[in-house]
Structure 1
Amino acid sequence: MRSDRLLSIMLLLQTHGQLPAGTLAERLEVSVRTVMRDVEALSSAGVPVYTVRGPHGGIALLPGFRTDVTGLTTDEARALFVLLSGRAHAELGLGRAIGSALRKVMAALPASHRPDADLASRRVLIDPARWRGGPSQPAPDLAVLQEAVFGDRRLSLRYRHGGDSRPRSYTLDPYGLVNKAGVWYLVADHRGEPKLFRADRIASAEVTDQPVRRRDGLELAGLWDTLRRRIDDIPTPVPVTVSVRRDILVRFLRIHQADVSPSAPPAGAGGDAERVSVELRFRSLGAAEALLAFGPDVEVVEPAELRHALARRAAETAALYAEGR
Structure 2
Amino acid sequence: MRSDRLLSIMLLLQTHGQLPASDLADRLEVSVRTIMRDVEALSAAGVPVYTVRGPQGGIALLPGYRTDVTGLTADESRALFVLLSDSAHADLGLGQALGSALRKVMAALPAPHRPDADLVSRRILIDPVRWRGTPRPDHPAPDLAPFQQAALTDRRLRLCYRHGRDNRVGTYTVDPYGLVNKAGVWYLVADHDGEARLFRTDRALSATVLDQPARRRDGQELTDVWQTLRRRIDDIPAPLAVTARVRNEILAKFLRIHEADLAPPALAESPPEPEGERGWTKVELRFRSLAAAQTLLAFGPDAEVLTPEDLRQALARKAAATAALYNPRQNT
When the two structures are superposed, what TM-score results if normalisation uses the length of structure 1? 0.65
Pick from 285, 289, 292 the counterpart of residue 284 of structure 1.
289
1:281 deviates by 1.1
Query: Relative to structure 1, is the Cα distance of residues 296 and 90 closer, same or farther in structure 2, using a 3 angstrom cutoff?
Result: farther
Question: Residue in 2 aligned with 1:240?
Answer: 242
Does residue 129 (structure 1) correspond to residue 143 (structure 2)? The answer is no
Query: Relative to structure 1, is the Cα distance of residues 91 and 297 closer, same or farther in structure 2, using a 3 angstrom cutoff?
Result: farther
1:76 deviates by 3.7
1:250 deviates by 3.6
1:82 deviates by 1.1
Pick from 300, 307, 312 the counterpart of residue 305 of structure 2.
300
1:282 deviates by 0.7
Pick from 140, 143, 152 the counterpart of residue 141 of structure 1.
143
Partner deviation per Cα, 1:225-258 (whole Å, 9 max, x = no partner): 2222333333352122333334433432332233
Asked if structure 2 preserves the Cα contact closer than 8 Å seen for 1:129 and 1:257, the reply is no
- Paired residues for 1:1-325 under 5 Å: 73-74=72-73, 75-131=75-131, 132=134, 138-162=140-164, 167-235=169-237, 237-261=239-263, 264-265=264-265, 274-311=279-316, 313-314=318-319, 324-325=329-330
Asked if structure 1 preserves the Cα contact closer than 8 Å seen for 2:135 and 2:257, the reply is no
Within 1, Cα distance between the matches of 2:208 and 2:200? Answer: 16
Question: Residue in 1 aligned with 2:23?
Answer: none
Within 1, Cα distance between the matches of 2:285 and 2:197? Answer: 28
Within 1, Cα distance between the matches of 2:246 and 2:98? Answer: 34
RMSD value over aligned CA atoms?
Answer: 3.6
SS in 1 for 2:148: helix
Partner deviation per Cα, 1:82-126 (whole Å, 9 max, x = no partner): 122223334455434533443443343223322221211110112
1:266 deviates by 5.8
SS in 1 for 2:301: helix
Query: Relative to structure 1, is the Cα distance of residues 281 and 166 closer, same or farther in structure 2, using a 3 angstrom cutoff?
Result: closer
- Stretches of structure 1 that go unaligned for 5 or more consecutive residues are 1-63
1:221 deviates by 1.7
Query: Relative to structure 1, is the Cα distance of residues 101 and 248 closer, same or farther in structure 2, using a 3 angstrom cutoff?
Result: farther
Asked if structure 1 preserves the Cα contact closer than 8 Å seen for 2:242 and 2:285, the reply is yes
SS in 2 for 1:244: strand
Within 2, Cα distance between the matches of 1:93 and 1:268? Answer: 29
Within 2, Cα distance between the matches of 1:176 and 1:222? Answer: 11
Question: Residue in 1 aligned with 2:50?
Answer: none
Query: Relative to structure 1, is the Cα distance of residues 204 and 311 closer, same or farther in structure 2, using a 3 angstrom cutoff?
Result: closer
Matched letter for residue 233 of structure 1: D
Question: Residue in 2 aligned with 1:48?
Answer: none
Asked if structure 2 preserves the Cα contact closer than 8 Å seen for 1:259 and 1:280, the reply is yes
Partner deviation per Cα, 1:162-208 (whole Å, 9 max, x = no partner): 36666422221110011223322111101110011121222333222
Matched letter for residue 310 of structure 1: L
Within 2, Cα distance between the matches of 1:92 and 1:275? Answer: 33
Is the deviation greater in 225-234 or in 162-171? 162-171
Asked if structure 2 preserves the Cα contact closer than 8 Å seen for 1:138 and 1:200, the reply is no
Query: Relative to structure 1, is the Cα distance of residues 105 and 201 closer, same or farther in structure 2, using a 3 angstrom cutoff?
Result: same
1:222 deviates by 2.2
Matched letter for residue 220 of structure 2: L
- Percent identity between the two aligned chains: 67
Within 1, Cα distance between the matches of 2:194 and 2:111? Answer: 35
SS in 1 for 2:230: helix
Within 1, Cα distance between the matches of 2:249 and 2:97? Answer: 33
Is the deviation greater in 114-123 or in 158-167? 158-167
Within 2, Cα distance between the matches of 1:317 and 1:228? Answer: 36
Partner deviation per Cα, 1:56-87 (whole Å, 9 max, x = no partner): xxxxxxxx99698xx87354453121122223
Is the deviation greater in 181-190 or in 225-234? 225-234
Asked if structure 1 preserves the Cα contact closer than 8 Å seen for 2:241 and 2:287, the reply is yes
Matched letter for residue 169 of structure 1: T
- Stretches of structure 2 that go unaligned for 5 or more consecutive residues are 1-63, 270-277
Matched letter for residue 102 of structure 1: L
Equivalent pairs counted in the alignment come to: 256
